Amino acid sequence: MRFIKLGAAFSLSFFLWGNAHAAGAPVNEDFSVVSSLCDDMVELAKKGSKEEFIEIADSALRLSEAQRRDNSMAIDRFRPKLRAAKKAGKSGDFDAAIGFVQEAKTLMKPATASWDGGS
């Protein structure tokens, strides 16, 4: 009986320690593919190819939506900029589209948490 209680206490404490360690670990967000698509969008905007720009913008938006399942706060910040770039590209305003893409690329860097876990 004593070994059962001791084993249960050990396994519960080990489980809780693992969760506490995972909760304190930094979030590793990799937006390198979306960033490379943004670079392609800028190149296509400079060339003025509207259809290819919109196609790459759709791909970047779909990829970021797929990555959004991880509840990333950074994705929620840069997706509106990508949508605005796509809209500007559809209207033919490539200077504004390039500006929106550049803003989105700066927002792709994960933000540090301002909450330190204190009371």
Q: What is the pLDDT of residues 31-73, one digit of tens each?
A: 888 899 999 999 999 998 899 999 999 999 998 888 876 667 7
Beta strands in the chain (DSSP E): none
What per-residue confidence (pLDDT) applies to 12?
60
What per-residue confidence (pLDDT) applies to 104?
93
Which run of H or of E encompasses 27?
none
What is the rounded distance in angstroms from the CA atom of residue 29 to the CA atom of residue 8?
Answer: 36
DSSP 115: -
Which residues are CB-neighbours of 108 under 8 A, at least 6 positions away? 31, 34, 35, 74, 78
What per-residue confidence (pLDDT) applies to 117?
59
pLDDT in tens, 77-106: 899 999 999 999 999 999 999 999 999 999
Token duo for residue 48: 């003025």
Q: Is 109 left (phi over 0), alpha (psi -120 to 50) or beta?
A: beta
Q: pTM (2 decimals)?
A: 0.68
What per-residue confidence (pLDDT) applies to 26?
47
